[in-house]
Structure 1
Amino acid sequence: MTDLLTATMARVVRADIQGLHAYAVQPSAGFVKVDTMENPHPLPPALQQALGERLGRVAIHRYPAERGDDLKAALAAHAGLPAGCSLMLGNGSDELITLLSMACALPGAVFMSPLPSFVMYGLSAALQGVRFEGVPLTADFELNEAAMLAAIDQHRPALLYLACPNNPTGNLWDEAVIDRIVDAMARHQGLVVIDEAYQPFAARDAMHRLGRQPHVLVMRTMSKFGLAGVRIGYLMGASALIAEIDKLRPPFNISVLNAEAALFALAHADEYARQAVLIREQRERLFRALQDMPGVHPWASQANMVLARVPDAAATFAGMKARGVLIKNVSALHPLLANCLRITVGTPDEVTLTLAALRASL
């Protein structure tokens, strides 16, 4: 039976898929969990009860219908979507990246992103059989403008992803450099996807580009907002463009429970804004403490995590895990990330425990 299964998989499963590694999620039970950029704050008890009662009234025996449209309207209002633009929903940003890849996977197409950045850009391209070109950032994780512009002229990418703030580095890039890159993509009639997964913690956003730069799309998620378990992503752009990509979306990709939970969260956006303020405060506390540690070099962040280089990332990661704190060792993701750790901003108590474990593990 094993021989038959091996032979069958070899014949019917694409060879490049067999060579890929699945996205790994670390087991986290019993740990201080500061590895996956989640909002660490639960809802207050009164709102938890109100949400539970609201979800209990949802017609889960029916397929999702108008509630998705209600959520799109609420998100459009929340984001300040300009006239002439539309919004589509995804099961997290990951599904939206997949749909973009499917829509733009023409023969000979090239997708592009600075590197290091979100791994799903390149992985999704590979799954669609599209060539992906990564352009290295500078040593300080800034955009290499000359290299980016040269790569755009050489490869004429169909899709260019710009994560603002970037993951795993946490920084926002120079707006003037982004302007010139966006203009270069327009000359080659390519799309720019500005991924604003960490927008709740950043000093600026890209909504001003929608409406005046029709080849620009803005992608956001409610995961960092505070609903990582709900899986709501949304893509905004020119209505005609969104309509084409939306043709690929499964008809019931957002469950009624997820839609209702997201609508509830938007109705209580003030609570999530309060939590974002707390996270930004703890981010600065974490960054300052890392600056004071001998041998540690952190980078200023506009997201809900801080990237730091340590003398030995593997040993430090293992030491922190042994002390009950789970962070992310990103050293293997790109040569520029050698000996780098990514630390999610937790609650004040979690930041205290994280710093203590880090000091003891260095």
Structure 2
Amino acid sequence: MHAYAVQDSTGLLKLDAMENPHRLPPALQAELGARLGALALNRYPGERVNDLRRALAAYAQMPEGFDLMLGNGSDELISLLAMACDVPGASILAPVPGFVMYAMSAQLQGLRFHGVPLTADFELDEAAMLAAIEAHRPAITYLAYPNNPTANLWDDAAIERIVTAVGRQGGLVVMDEAYQPFSSQSYIGRIARHGHVLLMRTLSKFGLAGVRIGYLMGPAALVAELDKVRPPYNISVLNAETALFALEHAEVFAAQARDLRAQRAVILDALAALPGVRAWRSDANMVLVRVPDAAKAFEGMKARKVLVKNVSKMHPLLANCLRLTVGTADENAQMLAALQASL
């Protein structure tokens, strides 16, 4: 194994980690600073964390009879899910390529991980998924909606058949909606149909990557069991208050998401005009692109002070692929110019 790698971005235009490029307006920065400065930092987190749970439930339109569990980012929730389901013979299953923490959480907890390759166009291989579920009876099956790093949504009918198959085997399905602010669809309206489906989101893509707030929604009795492995006070008072403040100003972040969706369309149009380049449709704040030589293009862009993610070695299906984060209009112009010059 190797540790989760974070690229050094010093002096570079940072478009490698799907962060929201927009800062809070100065007036809101000052207002938030005053609120954080008044917090009782000498006390453990208390009822304010429950205020955040209620605010997120309302924001996400969580169904009645469901509950919500907070994590220090989705990463902690993924680790806690592996811990909660760590019984003899248990395993975790997910399509690949996908978010690397699904497999890492399994490895670190001593669980088997079964990765089921997507098709060449990054669609679900439904037959292979159903066969793997039948053969391995996974405790957890992850379905990212949309997926990372491919940025696409999968066929809804195929997802429902997979969800049903997992339920027959007694497992859990986790719908990972990390990129929900940029997606054309959500699973929230269908989650109540199933007693074994959890929906996971994060405020990182909402615009608070530095705040580290993830949340998991599911049937109340199921969330109560998962909550038993959550460390006490895992959400700091600073993070909780910042998240509450952001939700009070959700319209600001919604406007930022609209801008990034518009910029994503600009990037896709520009990429379509570049010879030898293929980009896939995106429902996230990133675009997966295949170039003739990913290593050469990546280094060329870095030499031009633009940092993106070279994902070409993550999985054979990603050969010669780069992942581009959607930035501001100016950042995207710089990125596209650097890419064109580096091909």
1:80 alignment partner AA: Q
Tell me the CA shift for residue 288 of structure 1.
1.0
In the alignment, which of 109, 120, 123 is matched to residue 101 of structure 2? Answer: 120
Matched, 1:265 2:237: no
1:241-252 aligned within 5 A: 241-252=222-233
Tell me the CA shift for residue 95 of structure 1.
0.2
- Report Cα offsets for 1:125-180 as digits up to 9, x if no partner: 00011000000000000000111111111111110000100000000001111010
2:73 alignment partner AA: G
Q: Please state whether the residue corresponding to 1:336 is helix, strand or coil.
A: helix
In the alignment, which of 59, 63, 80 is matched to residue 44 of structure 2? Answer: 63
Matched, 1:320 2:333: no
1:1-362 aligned within 5 A: 20-362=1-343
- Report Cα offsets for 1:215-234 as digits up to 9, x if no partner: 00000000000000000000
Partners of 1:35 and 1:275 in 2: CA distance = 18
Q: What do you get for the CA RMSD once the two structures are aligned?
A: 0.6
Q: Please state whether the residue corresponding to 2:143 is helix, strand or coil.
A: strand
Partners of 2:185 and 2:286 in 1: CA distance = 17
Partners of 1:127 and 1:241 in 2: CA distance = 23
Tell me the CA shift for residue 189 of structure 1.
1.0
Which structure's CA Rg is the greater one? 1
Gaps of at least 5 residues in structure 1 are 1-19
1:351 alignment partner AA: N
Partners of 1:229 and 1:143 in 2: CA distance = 32
- Report Cα offsets for 1:65-108 as digits up to 9, x if no partner: 11110000000000001111000000000000000000001111
Answer whether contact 1:298 1:307 (CA < 8 A) is retained: yes
1:73 alignment partner AA: R
Partners of 2:30 and 2:154 in 1: CA distance = 41
Partners of 2:213 and 2:91 in 1: CA distance = 27
Partners of 1:309 and 1:227 in 2: CA distance = 29
1:63 alignment partner AA: Y
Answer whether contact 1:195 1:218 (CA < 8 A) is retained: yes
Gaps of at least 5 residues in structure 2 are none
Partners of 1:208 and 1:247 in 2: CA distance = 27
Tell me the CA shift for residue 211 of structure 1.
2.3
TM-score, with normalisation over the residues of structure 1? 0.94
TM-score, with normalisation over the residues of structure 2? 0.99
Q: Please state whether the residue corresponding to 1:194 is helix, strand or coil.
A: strand
Partners of 1:200 and 1:91 in 2: CA distance = 19
Percent identity over the alignment is 67
